[in-house]
Amino acid sequence: MGFMNKTTVLTGISTTGTPHLGNYVGAIKPAIAASRSSEVDSYYFLADFHALIKCHEPETIRQSTLEIAATWLALGLDTERATFYRQSDIPEISELTWLLTCHTAKGLMNRAHAYKAAVQDNIDADEDPDHGLTMGLFSYPVLMAADILMFKAQQVPVGRDQVQHLEMARDIAQRFNHHFGELFVLPDALVDDNVAVLPGHDGRKMSKSYGNTIPIFEPEKKLRKAVMRIVTNSLEPGEPKETKDSALYSIYAAFASPAQRLEMQQAFADGIGWGDAKQKTFELINAELVPARERYLELMEDPAQIESVLAQGAARARAVATPFLQQIRHAVGIRPLA
């Protein structure tokens, strides 16, 4: 930690829902791999304050936080290297959110896609434009800016949908720096267009909103069933098959080594039956997940172990956040009187 030449990489994981194979392939696996590099100083956190915006069910918030923490730990996030914490354990983030709020142009927030889409939905439904909207949704980008700026993150791996939030974080930081001196580092969004987008069993992108997800740690039998449900076509065994546009092949490929991919391409050309191809796909995914699944179940049985890992992460994060927040307080004039 803390070498001058390391890049600070930070990303937040909204604690809503149960992590699925699309999250695994598209975000979790690459993030865990990246965090192993000695070139980076990485921060990963559970964005539970962000989750409160979308979810008003206390037990769902808790359950999702537990599942997501257990998932990252079970999949091998190295918490000695990476700082892994829960947003709500860092009171400095909430305080910074307010300090930033006081310097964030309302007009900037008016332009946020997520907020604008919610307003548009209301207008389309002939409702009051603000119907059902909370200040949480409106201020979401300021909280996210605080998450990022607090740790002087240089690179923030996110999906395309979050790029605007990163631009807003830069705007907010710039305006603050302009007024109070160079306190904040301007972060860059890191959007990886090469990561696999995993289809669900219906062939559309695997996503909670399509209801086509496969949870990462589904028991083996259910995982097998889910794979057997993936859409194919009516070609018989012995008939050559195309890998292009095959959801089954895409899913296989996301878990396969280059050599295994070539083998499966050949098998398709040679007319492998769909049942066989599905069985091979199930075996491949399952083999990758077996060891992690055991750790996951252990962790889910022992939330105290997760709490203690998160407490260590929070202590490390606060060792950075507390002095920096003091500096920011001082800059804006929240200072000792004597």
Question: Which residue ranges make up the site for ligand TRP (CB under 6 A)?
Answer: 10-12, 14, 47, 50, 144, 147-148, 156, 158, 162
Cβ proximity to ligand TRP: between 10 and 248 the closer is 10
Contact 169, 141 (CB under 8 A): yes
Cβ proximity to ligand TRP: between 32 and 223 the closer is 32
Cα separation, 222 vs 198, in Å, equals: 18
| Minimum distance from residue 32 beta carbon to ligand TRP (Å) | 16
- CA atoms within 13 Å, Cβ hemisphere of 332: 18
| Minimum distance from residue 158 beta carbon to ligand TRP (Å) | 5
Cβ proximity to ligand TRP: between 16 and 246 the closer is 16
CA angle (170, 197, 137) in 5-degree steps: 40
* Chain Cα centroid distance, residue 271: 38
Q: What does the CA dihedral 306, 208, 216, 164 come to, rounded to 10 degrees?
A: -60
| Minimum distance from residue 77 beta carbon to ligand TRP (Å) | 16
| Minimum distance from residue 225 beta carbon to ligand TRP (Å) | 29
Radius of gyration of the chain (CA): 22
Cβ proximity to ligand TRP: between 17 and 200 the closer is 17
| Minimum distance from residue 296 beta carbon to ligand TRP (Å) | 22
Contact 69, 19 (CB under 8 A): no
CA angle (26, 155, 209) in 5-degree steps: 30
**186: Cβ contacts below 8 Å, ≥ 6 apart:** 170, 173, 174
Contact 172, 142 (CB under 8 A): yes
Cβ proximity to ligand TRP: between 67 and 147 the closer is 147
Between strands 40-47 and 83-86, the pairing is: parallel
Cβ proximity to ligand TRP: between 61 and 289 the closer is 61
| Minimum distance from residue 13 beta carbon to ligand TRP (Å) | 6
DSSP state of 25: I
Residues forming beta bridges with residue 12, ordered by sequence position? 45
| Minimum distance from residue 166 beta carbon to ligand TRP (Å) | 8
Residue nearest to ligand TRP (CB): 12
Cβ proximity to ligand TRP: between 191 and 196 the closer is 191
Q: How many CB atoms lie within 10 A of CB 62?
A: 13
Cβ proximity to ligand TRP: between 95 and 202 the closer is 95
| Minimum distance from residue 9 beta carbon to ligand TRP (Å) | 10
Q: What does the CA dihedral 55, 56, 57, 60 come to, rounded to 10 degrees?
A: 20
